[in-house]
Structure 1
């Protein structure tokens, strides 16, 4: 979820504090992955259709049996010391990768009738240039723009699709240092059409009113 500058300043103080906490890196990349990848999927069974609900419940049961068996054989602390750091690191990396592929300064956002699927795919997601070992171990996830335009391209063909098609050569490119700075961006500024920090958003809100009210979520 990302608010616009004017949306943020239209909210009561408590809501703004909550949003600031939500957008804090410790929450987004620490607490967030634990909830969205570990806890959340395990407790949503009641709201799902029959087959999907049963699948979730059976998965929960399988996890309880598997983890319980490991703890019985090896010890609770031993299993947690190995598994907990792996879960946290993998979850944080996964959420961060997804975040920077959609939340960078010049990202394309449009909630009007002029919204374009191809423009959103090519300018609304980044080409995250990872070092070759990381690109391999993340399944070419950095080539997210290709996936957005055509989700049927398999991950092992993403690099070739990018290299062989001129349309992909003008997409936003992020290096790892650039991507690390993206967590500073908190609000969508409708005046400058870019993501900004809280400080930049405050300056923008004080300068002039936005062209029109809008709510943007990502």
Structure 2
């Protein structure tokens, strides 16, 4: 692992890439929303014309990939980096929030907290994958160990987690949210209910659920997987508050997920996560050029798709070895 002095502070060099482009942002909305709507139309037809439901599910896989991309655009709006206008980011973000079943203002609060607390062992719990240290795990009662093991199980984390987070958890305010976030959750829920009622009156509620549930589940699995590998990988970086260093947290505690071109497009370049954590105001569509033009960004060792499949065996942070480890 590199020591603190071996990472040059290139954050000032990233400033020029913070400038968003209205044209590129609008084009991303068009090339994502239009195909997503088209896939919904085809899925509705497949059900109404009594095609095998497997055709609907096959289309749902592709629709789920577009919904993941919509969530990353929503994520950029949360950071105010997608469009030049702050107001446009807010309102586009709120509209996209209805499609991705996530309140804009509520998620912005928790996600921005994540950006100032990730990889900090003393401020865990904001938008993180639940991560214990090896010592903490050893001190847990047996039933709590099993609960943690279940949570970290891929089938639970991805399968149940996708439905729990987007269909249930996002519908309710947390304990520490403010009035603005509560109102945002309420309005998002009402908008989702409105979409459901319109669908029930036009295509039928059964058709809507037969499409929306698998699309949301598949997209949720993809989104949780991306979020997982962004901070859970071989080595990594976690530190106590007194030692936490934002430069090391970005360069060592955030992955550079080197995906094939098609998957990189559907994930809207979120794989350049080390750059995103160095400067969250860089729009997704400018991350690749930042990577190409700032040599220090290429010093980060990539996490390949094949390597990422092994990350699920990592469950705990070992403070003595300074790395992620499997269960003892």
- Asked if these proteins are the same fold (TM beyond 0.5), I'd say yes
Q: TM-score, normalised by structure 2?
A: 0.58
Instruction: Give the structure 2 partner of residue 81 of structure 1.
Output: 210
Match of 1:40 among 165, 169, 175: 169
Instruction: Give the structure 2 partner of residue 20 of structure 1.
Output: 149
Q: How does 1:179-190 map to 2 (within 5 A)?
A: 179-190=308-319
1:119 aligns with 2:248: yes
SS in 2 for 1:188: strand
Match of 2:277 among 148, 170, 176: 148
User: How far apart are 1:46 and its partner, in Å?
Assistant: 7.9
Aligned residues: 199
Give the direction of change, closer, same or farther, for the CA distance of 1:46–1:169 in structure 2 (3 Å limit): closer
Report the Cα distance in structure 2 between the residues aligned to 1:162 and 1:195, rounded to whole angstroms. 26
Instruction: Give the structure 2 partner of residue 164 of structure 1.
Output: 293
Deviations 1:150-206 (A, max 9, x none): 1111111101111111221222311111112111111112232211111xxx2xxxx
Q: TM-score, normalised by structure 1?
A: 0.85
Across the aligned residues of Structure 1 and Structure 2, the Cα RMSD in angstroms comes to 1.7
Pick which of 134-143 and 183-192 moved more.
183-192
Q: How does 1:34-113 map to 2 (within 5 A)?
A: 34-44=163-173, 48-111=177-240, 113=242
Give the direction of change, closer, same or farther, for the CA distance of 1:112–1:45 in structure 2 (3 Å limit): closer
Report the Cα distance in structure 1 between the residues aligned to 2:305 and 2:165, rounded to whole angstroms. 24
Match of 2:158 among 24, 29, 43: 29
Report the Cα distance in structure 1 between the residues aligned to 2:231 and 2:243, rounded to whole angstroms. 20
Stretches of 4+ aligned residues off by more than 3 angstroms: 45-48
Pick which of 156-165 and 73-82 moved more.
73-82
Match of 1:130 among 255, 259, 283: 259
Give the direction of change, closer, same or farther, for the CA distance of 1:191–1:48 in structure 2 (3 Å limit): closer
User: How far apart are 1:112 and its partner, in Å?
Assistant: 5.1
**5+ residue gaps in structure 2?**
1-129
**5+ residue gaps in structure 1?**
203-218
1:3 aligns with 2:132: yes
User: How far apart are 1:86 and its partner, in Å?
Assistant: 0.6
User: How far apart are 1:74 and its partner, in Å?
Assistant: 1.9
